[in-house]
Amino acid sequence: MKKSSASKETAASRKAVAGKKTAAKQAAAKETEGKTSAAKKTPATKAPATKAAAGKTAAKKAAAGKTAVGKTAAKKAPAGNTAAKETAAKKAAPLKRQAPAKKPAVAPKKATAAVKGVAPAKTVAPTSPRGESRTALVRRARRIDRELAEVYPYAHPELDFENPFQLVVATVLSAQTTDLRVNQTTPALFAKYPTPEDLAAAVPEEVEEILRPTGFFRAKTKSVIGLSKALTEDFGGEVPGRLEDLVKLPGVGRKTAFVVLGNAFGRPGITVDTHFQRLVRRWRWTEETDPDKIEAAVGALFPKSDWTDLSHHVIWHGRRICHARKPACGACPIAPLCPAYGEGETDPEKAKKLLKYEKGGFPGQRLKPPQSYLDAGGKPAPPLGAG
């Protein structure tokens, strides 16, 4: 019995020990599971830290991006400055093309050759010189005059006259008609009335009959008889050599006065006739339309000593090449200097057919032209009624 009790106690103690061990194992297992679950939950708790790290990384990238952009902009900045300089240079380039110096040196020779019968190459004038400086305008205007002086070295007044009286009468008669018609009419007039005294005493009806071919013959008769009386009564039968005296004569304005002063007395003057007005506006020497204002504007571009010859050059060019309705641009020696190039015929062969007087091989306007004109190939005009 004692042995059984002892064995029971031993078995109970063993169970107790086994239970304790089992409980310990279970506690250890639970503790392990708790740690495991805690470890699994740790990432969730550390997420904010990860987001912060990501934010720092993004900030670093943004800073790096800004730095890269800044460096790129810094590298491009010099290029931008260079581009700006190049743009400014390009904008400044047209100013160089406006200058007369850019005209090809061979252009006048080619155009002159066309006038003599050889077709030149087509020329294109610079673009419109809007915004042209005063200095550039003066240079261009004077260069045009020099070119025309080479083309028309024999330019002269295209009215026949032998003295100041004949010139003033012929100039008054040239209004609203051609110089050719006047030259064909005046020989009969001066043959019958050679002096101011003779014409002052003339019968108006007889003078009208002589002047009929010139048109407006009644008004012209009144003017020439009136100026002849004024010369006889106020100036002793002599034509005065001053502008203020000439414009007092019947039918004599500034244009007529400057023709007389420049060609009979050698005193410089600008003759602003219809050809002169047309051409100086085409060349943009002035935009004025009033003859007196045109005279002042153009006169300011040239030395006074050049005024008379300048008038001849411009008027001759207007009559022979730069016509009112259809300019012969393709045969023009100053095409590279003309802002109006292209208004007329630019084909050299077609333009050549538009040339007038000696440039086209036809007679001039004077019955008795200067010898220099004849030497240059000009032909005298036929008398009234001849062919």
Alpha helices in 99-248 (DSSP H): 107-115, 134-151, 164-173, 179-192, 196-200, 204-211, 217-234, 243-246
d(CA 293, CA 234): 30
- 255 noted as active-site residue: yes
Q: Which amino acid is at 91?
A: K
Distance CA 314, CA 311 (A): 5
Contacts of 283 (CB under 8 A, 6+ apart): 140, 141, 144, 337, 338, 339, 340
Phi/psi of residue 334, nearest 5 degrees: -115, 20
Q: Name the strand (E) or helix (H) holding 47.
A: helix 2-98
Which among 103, 110, 255, 359 is annotated as catalytic? 255
Q: How far lies 346's CA from each of 127, 179, 278, in Å? A: 16, 28, 19
Closest alpha carbon to 184 in 164, 158, 223: 158
The reply to whether 326 belongs to the active site is no
Residues 6+ apart with CB under 8 A from 359: 115, 320, 321, 331
| Residue 302 DSSP SS3 | coil
Contact, 139 vs 100, CB < 8 A? Answer: yes
CA 123 from chain centre, in angstroms, equals 15
Among candidate residues 103, 110, 179, 273, the one labeled active-site is 273
The rounded distance, in Å, linking the Cα atoms of 148 and 316 is 9
- Please tell me the distance from the alpha carbon of residue 58 to that of residue 225, in angstroms, as a whole number: 107
**Residue 117 vs residues 330, 352, 353, 359: alpha-carbon distances, Å:** 13, 8, 10, 9
Residues marked as catalytic: 255, 273
